[in-house]
Amino acid sequence: MLAPLRLLALLPLFLLTLPASAFKAIVPAFIALALLLIIAQPRLARVLRRHRGHDHQRIGPATMFGVLACGVYAGYFGAAQGILMLAILGLSFDDELQRLNATKNVLAGLANFLAGVIFAFAAHVDWSVVALIAPGAIIGGVLGARYGRRLPPAPLRALIVAVGIVAIVRLL
């Protein structure tokens, strides 16, 4: 378990050395993979449930590594962090999509908050942009929680896939 954690600790350094063109290729592929996992999540969850039995709610090393890696990635480059995190959680837990989405939102919020604190001390921050993004994120979080909870899993999954496809198109 230590070797993967050491590699993960080097991930930010690796990300900093990549040219911008690498992200233009990597991020759409990340989003596409996450979308495939989200689409296949109900079927994969059934297979995993049969394979694991009642132990599907356990947080194992693969889940911890995936969430941590997603958090590092999100702190550096946030594109599709939510879709990636939702795919990881969907494979790790046998739970309703709405609850997984809520968990994803809390984890993404923590990752973004921590990254924001680090950037506030380590880089130049345009606080006028922060003054626009922060209220927008709060309003989006409140509205998303209110309406996302009420959506049945199939339309919520379709909405996530639609947003992911739009993100891929915009990034290409």
At 142-172, the pLDDT tens digits run 887 788 778 888 888 888 889 889 988 888 8
Q: Report if residue 8 sits inside a domain.
A: no
Q: Report if residue 10 sits inside a domain.
A: no
Q: Report if residue 46 sits inside a domain.
A: yes
- Structural domain that includes position 89: 26-171
Q: Report if residue 154 sits inside a domain.
A: yes
Q: Report if residue 9 sits inside a domain.
A: no
Report the Cα–Cα distance between both ends of the chain, in Å, rounded. Answer: 36
Would you state the pLDDT for residue 1? 47
Whether the per-residue pLDDT at 23 is higher than 60: the answer is yes
pLDDT tier at 4 (50, 70, 90 boundaries)? low
Distance CA 72, CA 68 (A): 6
Q: Are 28 and 168 in contact (CB under 8 A)?
A: yes
Mean pLDDT, residues 62-82 taken together = 79
Q: Report if residue 16 sits inside a domain.
A: no
Rounded to two decimals, the pTM is 0.68
Q: Report if residue 34 sits inside a domain.
A: yes
Residue 103 CB burial class (10 angstroms; 0-12, 13-18, ≥19): middle
How many domains are contained in the chain?
Answer: 1
Q: Report if residue 5 sits inside a domain.
A: no
pLDDT tier at 53 (50, 70, 90 boundaries)? low
